[in-house]
Structure 1
Amino acid sequence: MKRRSELPDREALRERIIGLGERSVHKSYYPELQERMGDLERFRALLDQSHDAIFLIDAVAGVVVDASRSAWEQSGFTRSAVVGAYFLDLIVPADRGRIYAFMDSSAREKKMPGPLVTSLLRSTGDPIPVEITLKLVRFSGNLYAVAVARDITERQEAERELRIKESAIESSTDGILILDLEGRIIYANRAAGEIFGCASPGALTGHAFQAFLTDPDGALSVLRPLALGPSLHGELQGQRLDGSVFDLYVSGSRVKDEKDRLLCLMLICRDISDQKAVEEMKRRAYEQLERNIEQFAVLGDHIRNPLQGIVGLAAMMDDPAAGQILRLSYLIDDIITRLDRGWVDSENVRQFLRRRENFGR
């Protein structure tokens, strides 16, 4: 019979039984297990901080076996509602076939598709526009699909606003040119192509703006001040591809980024040849009006001078016809008086035109 001192220590025996003894095989793996568990927790915390919704899907059953926090928070579901659900049930019905075809066994050897633009379903049934990247992976012999869904609501809204702005620029009746900092055209809308006689706006790109002016130095009068000041406008002589010349009105502004760095120059061009022709026609009409007004004043004096002589002679005549001569003379004088009033009215018209149309200066 062994002595009590030879019996194994009860505490040591207990530690060996539960795997904490000095000779325990489990004890040698315990620190490594703790380290791996810590790595796993940190990795999981990192995934949960991502704004992308990440799903781990059983590629055979199509069931979600795990998901990041964003996957259920963005959709409005609980984690328990997402994990265990069929992944295709979380996608809008119209796009389920594309994702099913990718995860189907007959397609697993095919090339990986690019990102799929589709929509996830919220718990309310409303769609969330997303861009999904799918990848097949194997864990312990099992095939899984990793789906990373990125919310593209803001991107789609920005793209929509950009399309509206592009459509507005393209439909503008004014020619719009965007120039780099060296004065080369990098964009032209449809109206700009028509103004400069191009079959398509693309024919303008790559050319220096000064190539479409009769005086190349005229471009410097626009671009140089524009590079220093916020805006500029003026008139130039434009030249089309066929060599024809026209009157060109140009207004320009600088385009900067959010850090106030100069990116490019934008010019708004307008063919004002017709407008200039109308202005010239108005100017000539105004000059003719002034000549007519002056003639009214001169002719009135020229008529009154001999008329006064006729009246004087008729007054001295002792003849029955003298009364008729005086009556007709007074009638002519009345007509001249009305012409004088018309001259005054014409002068008022001239003053009005000078104020409103800025002609005659």
Structure 2
Amino acid sequence: YAMDFAFERANERREFSNINTEYQELFNSVPIGLYKTDFKGNIIHCNKYLVNLLGYNKESDLLNFKIQDFMIAREQENDPFLGLLKKSPLARGKVQLRKKDGSLIWTEIETQATLSQEKILLYLHASVKDITEQITLENEISSSYEKMQFYLDSAETYFVVINRDESIAFVNDKMAKIHGLKSSEMIGKNWIETSITADSRIKLQKAFNEIIKGNVEKYHNQELNYKIDGKTRTISWKNTFVKDKNDQVTTIISSGTDVTDFKKSEELLKENEEKYRKLVETSPDAIISGDLNGIIEYANKQMYEAFGFQSEEEIIGRNIIELVHPSNREDAIRFIGETISKGHMGTSEIQMIRKNGQTFPIEFNTSVLYNSGNEPIGIIALGRDISDRKEAEEELFRSEAKFRQLFNMANDAVMLLKISEEKILDEIIEVNTKACEKYGYTKDELLGLSISDLIDPDHRSNIPKNMAKLFMKGQTTHECLHITKDNRKIPVELSSHIFKFENEEVVLSIIRDITERKKAEEALKNSEELYRSIFENTGTSMVVLDLNNKIVISNSLFENLVGFSKENLISKNWRSLVYENDLEVINKIAKERLSYSNLFPMEIEFRIKNKKGNLRNIWAVVAAIHGTNQTVVSLHDITEKSIMEEVKKQAFDQIDKNMGQFAILVDCIRNPLSIIVGLSDIQNNEISRKIIEQAKLIDDIIKQLDYRWLESSNVKNFLSEHL
């Protein structure tokens, strides 16, 4: 009996040894880190995967450490997992670990405590998964989203994303400002109800319903009017949509451009259109094991649910190759063979088939299971469903492609500039296609330059002043002279502002070529100088009046005429200079200017009272300035001429009076003289003869007076004709 008992015990020990060996092989072969600690946290057992993950050679290298020793930014006094265990014997968390060579990896650690009956910690079992690639992808997606968010808020375009239930999912700052709100305050509001006018709400509702029903094309345009800064502006909306797998519209994406100026002047600036990105999450890892022929012997919940099975029994006994997509089966067989020959294989991506026939990608890490004789007995694999990651990568690529297209479609040159530690604009780190075309450089050539390399040397002295303004206000707009690759000089307007990108401050500069604007300004300046010179040197007093008869501008001759300086005349009502008895004439002209503009130009006479109170007689020509509500008045001082006319009139009146009196005088002399001559002729004596002789002398004198009268009449006629 004793021998049988001893023999039975020996068999039990061998069987236990074999089981322990198989467990140890499984423990060391599983592609996930496993370890056990005592109640103080000291590592007392770990598998090869954890040893290799932390960069060590053998298990004994880790037995002198606590797992906390590898954690980054851990608490100094308390282990974070031990703190969790006070509330629950199970804990899980993401932790960054430092490897032996100093490099950092992200891991997900799951712990399970073994407690005494008194709830005292005895041991801690834990698994460690390397999730560095997952965290890296999440950071890339987050960075791309921040970049997208900035460009959408910086663009001169209105952006809004509307859910199927009419709620706002996203709106940029420019759109939110129309409603006097922040973009965050509009999220979740009903898009239709936020419309400014009832007319806009009706149009929006109709368009929204048609899009949801799928009755419109992929890109649908619509124009709506808004009140912006007190003025009515027209915004042209371009609507597109996103459909789900059931071909149902789930989201409407709209970008709006202010086309008011385009409608008025047929000039519409192209703005960056909207791009919107969906964020994805990665799924949990799955574990599967099988024999060397690929027959599945074990699958955890994450694995069989990934394939669409309801339980482990549905997948056990299947050949893993059956679950591989036909196009990838040869690669899968080769992958299994290499795993068996090498002992383990790194990450490999394989297309799999779900229960419903759907194809999906899994990323596998595989290792061989060995028996006590170091013979391979099976394969264990750590699988990760990367469908979401693939979708995220594709969406990221599409979004980046959309962003790049919008960026390069901009009508102005756009540059992203690095800021040096000395707060100086450093190298150019991104440019759009327009910048390359405008400056004549390739993209690679521009990325090797600094923005100062493009500035004309004569303008570089302004750089410190402009930089100081930029860093003080966060944004600035100024004009500058830039140089192209072929040394052409182009005047530009730079609009720059600072923002944070990937934790660093950078500057976004939008550079507009203002060559044509400068030419127009110069032409306008020359035209203004020409007309100012003509206005000042016409030789007559001139003044321009607005619709309210206020003086807009006057020349120096007008200022001399009225005795007031230019400063005192501007905005002065010119009727205050008109003599009060002549105001009726001026008021009549003002009324006719409003009602009968076709009567202009017209001539009028009136009197002006200058600063000293003296009256000046004025003859003026009044004319309307075409295309404006202004009137130009040309004034001639005719005061001296009026005085001469009055003197001439008085002189002619006096001549007429003198000539009349002269004729009367001649008659008064000649008539008595004829009587005297007749009487003397009757007497016929010496005395009478002398009287007759003297009478003849008197008659000669009268004849001379008649001749002078005729001469006076001729003089008067001459004067009347020539004066």
User: Quick one: structure 1 residues 3 and 19, their matched pair in 2 at CA, closer, same or farther if it must change by over 3 Å?
Assistant: closer
Residue 607 of structure 2 corresponds to which residue in structure 1? 237
**Pick aligned residue for 2:500 from 128, 138, 145:** 138
**Pick aligned residue for 2:426 from 46, 51, 62:** 62
User: Quick one: structure 1 residues 280 and 63, their matched pair in 2 at CA, closer, same or farther if it must change by over 3 Å?
Assistant: farther
**Pick aligned residue for 2:633 from 239, 248, 267:** 267
Q: Is the 8 A contact 1:249 1:271 kept in 2?
A: yes
Q: Aligned equivalents of 1:351 and 1:271: distance in 2?
A: 24
Q: Aligned equivalents of 1:92 and 1:73: distance in 2?
A: 18
Q: Deviations over 1:100-136 (max 9, x none)?
A: 5544xx8874345753333223555453333333323
**Pick aligned residue for 1:246 from 608, 611, 616:** 616
Q: Deviations over 1:15-56 (max 9, x none)?
A: 983889614523231342144124303422441xx2x44333
Residue 349 of structure 2 corresponds to which residue in structure 1? 17
**SS in structure 2 at match of 1:211:** helix
User: Quick one: structure 1 residues 273 and 93, their matched pair in 2 at CA, closer, same or farther if it must change by over 3 Å?
Assistant: farther
Q: Is the 8 A contact 1:58 1:65 kept in 2?
A: yes
User: Quick one: structure 1 residues 271 and 72, their matched pair in 2 at CA, closer, same or farther if it must change by over 3 Å?
Assistant: farther
**Pick aligned residue for 1:223 from 587, 590, 602:** 590
Q: Is the 8 A contact 1:136 1:146 kept in 2?
A: no
Q: Which moves more between the two structures, 17-26 or 143-152?
A: 17-26
Q: Aligned equivalents of 2:720 and 2:478: distance in 1?
A: 71
Q: Aligned equivalents of 2:328 and 2:464: distance in 1?
A: 58
Aligned: 1:84 with 2:448 = yes
**Aligned pairs (5 A) from 1:260-299:** 263-280=629-646
Q: Is the 8 A contact 2:551 2:574 kept in 1?
A: no
Deviation, 1:188, is 3.1
Residue 203 of structure 1 corresponds to which residue in structure 2? 568
**SS in structure 2 at match of 1:243:** coil
Q: Aligned equivalents of 2:654 and 2:638: distance in 1?
A: 24
When Rg is computed on C-alpha atoms for both structures, the one with the higher figure is 2
Deviation, 1:176, is 0.9
Q: Deviations over 1:219-264 (max 9, x none)?
A: 212212222334122111112233221112232222353xxxx523
Residue 391 of structure 2 corresponds to which residue in structure 1? 28
Structure scoring higher RCO (CA < 8 A, sep ≥ 6) equals 1
Kindly provide the amino acid, as one letter, of the partner of residue 567 in structure 2: G
Q: Aligned equivalents of 2:655 and 2:447: distance in 1?
A: 90
**SS in structure 1 at match of 2:593:** helix
Residue 559 of structure 2 corresponds to which residue in structure 1? 193
Q: Is the 8 A contact 1:226 1:253 kept in 2?
A: no
Q: Aligned equivalents of 1:131 and 1:204: distance in 2?
A: 38
Residue 212 of structure 1 corresponds to which residue in structure 2? 577
Aligned: 1:2 with 2:296 = no
RMSD: 5.1
- Using the size of structure 1 for normalisation, the TM-score is 0.66
Q: Aligned equivalents of 1:114 and 1:290: distance in 2?
A: 85
Kindly provide the amino acid, as one letter, of the partner of residue 22 in structure 1: F
Residue 324 of structure 1 corresponds to which residue in structure 2? none
Aligned: 1:129 with 2:491 = yes
Q: Is the 8 A contact 1:59 1:145 kept in 2?
A: no
**Pick aligned residue for 1:99 from 463, 466, 474:** 463
Q: Is the 8 A contact 1:175 1:195 kept in 2?
A: no
Deviation, 1:96, is 0.7
Q: Is the 8 A contact 2:607 2:617 kept in 1?
A: yes
**Pick aligned residue for 1:117 from 467, 475, 479:** 479
Q: How many residues align?
A: 332
Kindly provide the amino acid, as one letter, of the partner of residue 97 in structure 1: S
Q: Deviations over 1:289-319 (max 9, x none)?
A: 9999x89xx9xx99xx9xxxxxxxxxxxxxx
Residue 327 of structure 1 corresponds to which residue in structure 2? none
- Using the size of structure 2 for normalisation, the TM-score is 0.37
Q: Is the 8 A contact 1:121 1:127 kept in 2?
A: yes
**SS in structure 1 at match of 2:492:** strand
Q: Is the 8 A contact 1:174 1:268 kept in 2?
A: yes
Deviation, 1:280, is 4.8
Q: Aligned equivalents of 1:63 and 1:217: distance in 2?
A: 73
Q: Aligned equivalents of 2:604 and 2:625: distance in 1?
A: 19
Structure 2 runs not aligned, ≥5 long: 1-291, 296-318, 333-347, 353-358, 363-385, 671-700
Q: Aligned equivalents of 2:478 and 2:587: distance in 1?
A: 49
Residue 137 of structure 2 corresponds to which residue in structure 1? none
User: Quick one: structure 1 residues 150 and 197, their matched pair in 2 at CA, closer, same or farther if it must change by over 3 Å?
Assistant: same
Identity %: 14
Q: Is the 8 A contact 1:117 1:130 kept in 2?
A: yes
Higher helix share: 1
Q: Aligned equivalents of 1:346 and 1:255: distance in 2?
A: 48
**SS in structure 2 at match of 1:180:** coil
Residue 308 of structure 1 corresponds to which residue in structure 2? none
Q: Deviations over 1:267-294 (max 9, x none)?
A: 33333323434555666677789999x8
Aligned: 1:41 with 2:332 = no
Structure 1 runs not aligned, ≥5 long: 306-331
**Aligned pairs (5 A) from 1:337-348:** none
Q: Aligned equivalents of 2:418 and 2:609: distance in 1?
A: 68
